[in-house]
Amino acid sequence: MTLPRNFPNVQSQLKATSDTQAPKQETSNCLQINKSDLILDIQSKAKVNFLRSKLSVSSTTREEDIVLAPCPPDENVCSMRPKGAKEIFHMYGAVLEEFGVRIPFTLFEMDVLNLLNVAPTQIHPNSWAFIRGFEILCDSLDMVPTAGVFFHFYGTKGVDKGSWVPISAHPGKQLFPPFASNFKKDWKKSFLRVQAAKDSSVSVASIAGEVRFPLGWTANPLAVSGHHYQKMTPYEQDELGFLDRMGRTDIRKLLNKEGDTEDLELYLLPMLPLSGKERRKYLEALKAKNASGEHIASDPAGVVLRKGAKKRDNASSSDAVAGGIDPAAEKVIEGEVTKTVRKGGGRPLSVEADAAFESSFWHCDFDYRRYMEENVPFSAVDKDAAFHGKFDELVQDAGTSALRTLLYIQSMERKHEVLEKEYQDSVKDVEKFKHKAAAFEERVEGLLKDKSALE
């Protein structure tokens, strides 16, 4: 088993290591060691160690809690987990590196795997981009990501037995544009064994002793086409109402900006619905519905299956797929996302919020790209030029800068209005004091006259 070829070449180091560490073959009757197998084992361990040296794999505070180990040469990614191992599963090293997935998974990631009835490697690696993108987007908005809301936007199809399960957007409900990974062809061989360290109290797949997702490939993954709105919690319904009116965000940028709160907020600003004050009020009301911030488990009964798809059979849901992977499945999986144009609309947030959308600059029908092309010089460049691939990114960056300037100008205008009002109030106060001073002077003059008359 080997990791992708984009890892640095350590062949020279491995050769030296194998020459010094590999025991010499004895001429006696003792069991002889196969030198080629030993070198392969050293190479695999070296690549795993290199992966650990440049990535933080553990979601706990200790990297030592999680053990990544190379698989035996004869082990398939879709094979059953080793006998006697309670919590051990496969994970693609390419997914850990590309999308920043950590072990143990988040509760949201576990829910997605559980409701789809798939093992971590049974999802096509590119599909992890949508899971991570949705998670980062919700975290940046201080929302709790839930599988129910995720399945409103994304689902599965082509779930043939023995193939990877692709996740793609439902028509007209894309949160993200099409995503293309930088995977090499060898990503299929990059799977590793994942388990907790023997001296660790961490569980890599269970919560309170209950395993939360399939550890091995299943024979009946679900073809999901959505989630019933009526089966969602009030929190999920309001979260959906907000996200359904957002502009599309780029997954690559979300991944690159994860952890940089200020930069992420600035990037998302043009895509957010409602004005600043209205948006803060809405998000605060949403947060109050789940003040504890605890994870929200979506109702499995709300999962909508595609026509002709069978519901999961609990008796056979954990059965692993035997044999190898169908090579024809790759043709089905390569097409990641259906290119559809997302239009505004969706379920109304509330009467007040809906009215606010209609009158707000941030209405879902506002096309920042067209606005930039028509109003900002040099933004309407030739998209057929050599750098057309950077066009959307350049326009979006220009749009962000222009909108920041507009917001700053609006802020300054508001401050000016406040200062102007304070000045006018001060002028009125001065006039009042002048009037009082004049009345006081008249009173003093009257008292002086009265004193003169008495003398």
d(C-alpha 153, C-alpha 148), whole Å = 9
Of 258 and 375, more confident: 258
Phi, psi of 272, deg, nearest 5: -80, 140
Question: Exposed, middle or buried, 92 (CB in 10 Å: 0-12/13-18/19+)?
Answer: buried
Distances (CA, A) of 200 to 63, 64, 195, 212: 11, 8, 10, 19
Phi, psi of 281, deg, nearest 5: -65, -40
Residue 338: per-residue pLDDT: 37
If you average pLDDT over residues 48-53, what whole number do you get? 81
Residue 387: per-residue pLDDT: 45
Strand 66-69 versus strand 154-156 pairing type:
unpaired
CA 196 from centroid of its chain's CA atoms:
25
Residue 427: per-residue pLDDT: 84
Closest C-alpha to 352, from 301, 279, 418: 279
> pLDDT over 70 for what percent of the chain?
67
If you average pLDDT over residues 26-44, what whole number do you get? 41
Residue 371: per-residue pLDDT: 54
Of 79 and 204, more confident: 204
Paired tokens of 236:
């999920």
Q: 82-126 pLDDT, tens per residue?
A: 565 678 899 998 888 889 999 999 999 999 999 999 999 999 888
Q: 140-172 pLDDT, tens per residue?
A: 999 999 999 999 999 998 787 668 899 999 988
Least confident of 77-86, 140-149, 212-221, 304-313: 77-86
d(C-alpha 357, C-alpha 258), whole Å = 28
